Amino acid sequence: MNFLIADTFQAALAKLSNEEQKAVKVTVFDLQQDPSSPGFKFHRVDKSKDPNFWSVWVNRDIRLIVHKTQSSFLIAYVDHHDDAYKWAERRRIDTHPCTGAAQIVEVRERVEEITIPTYVQPEKPQVAHAAEAPARFYPPLFLKLST
């Protein structure tokens, strides 16, 4: 199995405090020795665009993001819990179309609000109903009949 470390991991590791960096380095070293050890707490990143992203517990707050397949084990990223999961949810590993090299691709989703047009119905000519029609009064015709 190939054990790989991505540039994104090294850049993220540099942003952590010294104590956090020490804990991460110990965990990465232990993973390199035996990634199948039962002491590691692996958790699949469910919302990730790539089904091979896993989270590894470093301490109560720090999570290591790894990309694990049958033939390779890539240390991809490290950060505090929520930020590490957000990073993994927006990325996937693809093969570069020209060089064939593996690359980490950020998937950005754009949400647009679509306005649904409302169609105006033409007004119908107003027809006065019998109840609404003005009353027409004709003078009553009274005939006086003689008897």
Residue type, 115: T
Entry pTM: 0.68
- pLDDT tens string, the chain, 147 residues long: the values are 788 888 899 999 999 999 999 999 999 999 988 877 777 788 888 888 888 899 999 999 999 999 988 888 889 999 999 999 999 988 888 877 888 777 788 777 777 788 888 777 777 766 656 555 566 666 666 656 665
Give, rounded to a whole angstrom, the gap between the first and last alpha carbons of the chain: 129
Domains of the chain by start residue, with CATH: 2-106 (3.30.2310.20)
Structure tokens belonging to residue 29: 């070293």
Angle, helix 18-33 to helix 7-14, in steps of 10 degrees: 150
Residue type, 53: F
